[in-house]
Amino acid sequence: MRRTLLQDFTTPAWRAVAGARTVLLAAPRSFCAGVERAIEIVEQLLARRGGPVYVRKQIVHNTHVVAGLRQRGAVFVDELDEVPPGATVVFSAHGVSPAVRAEAAGRGLDVVDATCPLVTKVHSEARRYAGRGDTVVLIGHAGHEEVEGTLGEAPEHMVLVQTPEDVDTLDPPDPLRISYLTQTTLAVDETTAIVDALRRRFPALRGPADADICYATTNRQDALAVVADEADLVLVVGSANSSNSVRLVELAHRRGTPAHLVEDAGMLRPEWFGGVRVVGLSAGASAPPGLVGDVVSALEALGPVTVRERETVRETVEFILPPVVRR
C-alpha cells in the first residue's frame, strides 16, 4: 500500500546531525476505525468484482493509500460524470451531499457508501437541527470534502464559521434558534474557542450531546500533546490534505515545539535535526502505520535509537462493513 522513499544518509549534511536519539511514539496514531473501514470496502470490492472500481475523491486523505489502491484497480475521479453509467462507485470516508447521491441515482450507478459513521452522525444532526427551524452553524474548514457534504444537507439553513472572528459577522433570522455542529477532524482547543464565542453572542445556542470531533482525532491530539512536551522536535506522518494530520502539527507548534508534516521518510531534512536528541513521532488517522516504522528506520541510519511509546488511551472502536462487502 505504500512506496518507501530512501535517502542517502551518508552525505555531509546528514553526517553533521548524526548521533543517538530517543523517539517518543504517540499512541494512538495512524489508522482509525473509519479509515480502516473505508479502505477495506474498496479492497473487498476489488477482490470480489475486480477492476475497475470507481471512487469519488480520495477514499481517505493519504497519497500512499490512494496509490496502493490505484495499483490494484481502483479508479479515483473528482466528479460522477467521469464514472460510466451503471458502474460501481464508492463514496469516500468524508461523506457526500444529498445532491451527489441524487446524481448517482439518476445515472444508475451502483453506489457503495464508505462514509465514516461519525460523519454520517453529523449529517443526521444537520438535518434534524435544520428541520426544527434552527440556523445551523458549521465549524470547519472551507473547501474540505466533509464540510461540503455536511453543508449540502441543509444549505438554506447552514452557515460556515472558521474562526472566532467569524462569529461577529453572523446575522441569524432568530438568535434564539441557533445551533452548531463541527467538522470531525478539527483541533479541540481551537474549536472550543469558537464554541465559546458562539455562546457569548448567542446564549440560547444548542449543540450535539456528544462532541462531533471524532474520538480518533481527539485521542491523537491528546497523545501528541504528551510527546510534544517532552520532545525537541515533532514529526507527523500524513498528507498535506489530511485535516487531522495538519492539526497535529499545529498543536505541536502551539505547545512551543518545532514540528513538520511528512508524507514519508523521504521528506526528512537534515536541517531539522541539529541539536535534536528527542523526537516525538505521530501519524494522522489516514496514514498507514508502516510509514511510521520507515521514519524510525531512517533515524536509525543516523545513530542508535531508543524507542519509547507514550500511550494515552487504547482504542477499541470497530465499524461494521456495509452488507454488500461483508464477509
Please report, for residues 187, 202, 246, 248, 260, the alpha-carbon distance to residue 252 in angstroms, rounded to integers and kept in the order given: 11, 32, 10, 6, 9
82 catalytic? Reply is no
Instruction: Please name which of 190, 309, 326, 174 lies closest in space to residue 246, comparing C-alpha atoms.
Output: 190
Instruction: Please name which of 198, 275, 168 lies closest in space to residue 231, comparing C-alpha atoms.
Output: 275
- Is residue 245 marked as binding? no
C-alpha–C-alpha distance, residues 67 and 207, integer Å? 38
- Is residue 64 marked as binding? no
Which of these is catalytic: 146, 148, 153, 263? 146
- Is residue 253 marked as binding? no
- Angle CA(327)–CA(77)–CA(157) in degrees, nearest 5? 90
- Is residue 242 marked as binding? yes
C-alpha–C-alpha distance, residues 194 and 166, integer Å? 9
- Is residue 97 marked as binding? no
C-alpha–C-alpha distance, residues 243 and 7, integer Å? 27
- Is residue 62 marked as binding? no
- Is residue 123 marked as binding? no
- Is residue 306 marked as binding? no
Which residues are catalytic, by number?
Answer: 146
**Which residues contribute to the annotated binding site for dimethylallyl diphosphate?**
61, 94, 144, 242-244, 286
**Which residues contribute to the annotated binding site?**
32, 61, 94, 116, 144, 184, 214, 242-244, 286
**Which residues contribute to the annotated binding site for isopentenyl diphosphate?**
61, 94, 144, 242-244, 286
